[in-house]
Structure 1
């Protein structure tokens, strides 16, 4: 490795991350091998291990690179919601803070594969063993459930938890869509149009959460 310049190593590392993101998005964690990633990145297999140690190390590195931007957007949305006095409008803003950053990933330049990875990880039975969601996403999810509970007077923590689950469940279903809803509606529904998708989801979910 010493004969390779730092610049070349940096570029190789970036190629590995990009190739891994595509491969994991297409085949999931268990369906992906380091050899497949190395072939896709056009690097030797040992170089993947040199940079990331293991398949799990590489997988985690992708989430550690991609999740902070989502959390920053959510935190900004939550701060705006916190300043809103009208409870109905505040609830809508919280829902937008939950949904918006993820839905925008589908059509964000270079982020489509990460969106698919997230959708896969949330629904993967082995995700708990990896602990990535618990470590990186659960803390702010807990804060959002607490806010939903605050805005649902007289309702239980279970009600707030299920409200959150229904919101994110809808979100991840949309993120995982591969064109079916557009096909069935002759293009009237387009998940790649994040703002239109967000408005439609909130229109239908907000009354249910409020009630």
Structure 2
């Protein structure tokens, strides 16, 4: 029953956000009385946090393993694009191959990333893997200013969240050439695009000489 409740809540929260859903809405989607939802989850906030936590460990663990494997494969000499691919492609694969439930989770993550409480949950669940990526980017660009690397990550995660939101806007703008749910098309382009941005923006710290390449 807990999984059914979480699935229903995930679907509704991904569509209407935390404040647009009630426990009664969740109960109706499951087909039970709302008191049963209250039995498992004392309030809506507790349910929302449980929905986020359920898949956060999966995606964080997968990306951490990919980053570790990439660093080992690179012989301690990572590239910007290689590090981004380990981080982004691994996550996009989960949403591409995990079915509608994972797509709902991605949309929910996009919604929550723009709220104060959501940002707190992001800190709690995703900081270690993000800082692991930042560490690899610093290895790849040892002369870059730290603030430029963090701004670069900020822009990367913004693009990822917009992608996971699946708003359909790019579908309409492109006249159907692009689809919001075409994660394979995103995967083929995003890391390369973002790597070029990092290289263009990142500047040597004072007192250092920018490395060639």
TM bin (shorter chain): 0.7 to 0.9
SS at match of 2:20: coil
Whether the 8 Å CA contact 1:100–1:194 is kept in 2: the answer is no
Whether the 8 Å CA contact 1:25–1:116 is kept in 2: the answer is yes
SS at match of 1:30: helix
Number of equivalenced pairs: 197
* Alpha-carbon separation, structure 2, partners of 1:90 and 1:156: 16
Matched, 1:140 2:129: yes
The corresponding residue for 1:7 is none
Aligned ranges for residues 113-128 of structure 1 at < 5 Å? 113-128=104-119
The corresponding residue for 1:8 is none
* Alpha-carbon separation, structure 2, partners of 1:16 and 1:93: 38
Whether the 8 Å CA contact 2:63–2:91 is kept in 1: the answer is no
* Alpha-carbon separation, structure 2, partners of 1:64 and 1:149: 29
Which one of the candidate residues 141, 147, 153 is aligned to 2:142?
153
Q: Give the TM-score of the pair, scaled to structure 2.
A: 0.84
Shift of 1:137: 0.8
Matched, 1:27 2:16: yes
Matched, 1:200 2:189: yes
**Structure 1 segments of 4+ aligned residues over 3 angstroms from their partners:** 104-107
Write the deviation string for residues 132-182 of structure 1: whole angstroms up to 9, x where unpaired: 211111121122222212221221211111111111111111111322212
Whether the 8 Å CA contact 1:191–1:197 is kept in 2: the answer is no
Whether the 8 Å CA contact 1:99–1:167 is kept in 2: the answer is no
Shift of 1:104: 3.3
Aligned ranges for residues 84-95 of structure 1 at < 5 Å? 84-85=74-75, 87=77, 90-95=79-84
Structure 1: state its 5+ residue gaps: 1-11
SS at match of 1:178: coil
Write the deviation string for residues 91-128 of structure 1: whole angstroms up to 9, x where unpaired: 22211122224333443313111111111111123324
Structure 2: state its 5+ residue gaps: 201-213
Shift of 1:183: 2.5
The corresponding residue for 2:49 is 60
* Alpha-carbon separation, structure 1, partners of 2:32 and 2:69: 45
Aligned ranges for residues 11-50 of structure 1 at < 5 Å? 12-50=1-39
